[in-house]
Each structure stands twice: as C-alpha cells, then as structure tokens.
Amino acid sequence: MRPDSRRPRWPSRVSSAEALSGALDCDLGLCPLTNTMPIRRLDVQTDTADEHPLTMAWIDMPSLKVIAGPQIYAGIDAEHVRYTSGTRDFTAELTLDEDGVVIDYPQLAERTAADRSS
C-alpha cells in the first residue's frame, strides 16, 4: 500500500503504514471473497507442499480500520485451502470452485448455486 500522491498523510483509519508495507492484498472482514485474491495469486490450491505466510491489509468491519493482518494459506487439494489467522486462534478449511474462488468459508458464508450457462 502507498498513500495517495495527492495526500501527504495516510488516512486516519490506517493503524500503521510501516506494518502494511508488505501487504499485497486486502482482506475485508466478514467477506470470504477477498480470501480468493492471495489464493489465486499464489496458486495455493495446486501447491500442497508449502505454507504461504502473508501480511494482509485487513479491514475491520464495521469500523473500517485498516491493520496489518498476518495470515497463512496452505493448499490441501484442488478444492480446499487451510486458512490460519496470525492474530487469533482461528483456522478454517476453505472450499474453492474450479477457478480458485472461495465458495464455502465455515461459520461465515457459503456461495449459493448459480446457473453458469449464461
């Protein structure tokens, strides 16, 4: 993340600009779709040998405060990725579709069936 070139300061909701310097992706709290970005970027679903520790720009809901959120993604198989939070005792097995999009995040959300013929 970088500050807007027209603004000399970071927005007040950014807790630590230095901590976010390595964040390539954002994670909007309560939105499993944003977990899709690092999974696809790193092709985690096909890499079952490695864990991928990341720093995410985690956006808290509803405050919209942006903080550095350490997370670990590990491929289980083509349809499942293990997500582990680096700030709290939480791990979830995410289910993916054939495109690597999160379709089931236990205890948070599940994608409903869609007609893909159109």
Contacts of 98 (CB under 8 A, 6+ apart): none
**Residue 4 has what pLDDT?**
57
- Contact of 87 with 67, CB cutoff 8 Å: no
Tens digit of each residue's pLDDT (9 = 90 or more) over 24-83? 999 999 999 999 999 999 999 999 999 999 999 999 999 999 999 999 999 999 999 999
Indicate whether 115 pLDDT > 70: no
Strand partners, 54: 71
**Residue 1 has what pLDDT?**
52
Contacts of 38 (CB under 8 A, 6+ apart): 24, 25, 44, 52, 54, 56, 71, 73
- Taking the model in full, what pTM does it have? 0.81
Indicate whether 15 pLDDT > 70: no
For residue 42, the tally of other CB atoms under 10 A from its CB is: 19
**Residue 21 has what pLDDT?**
84
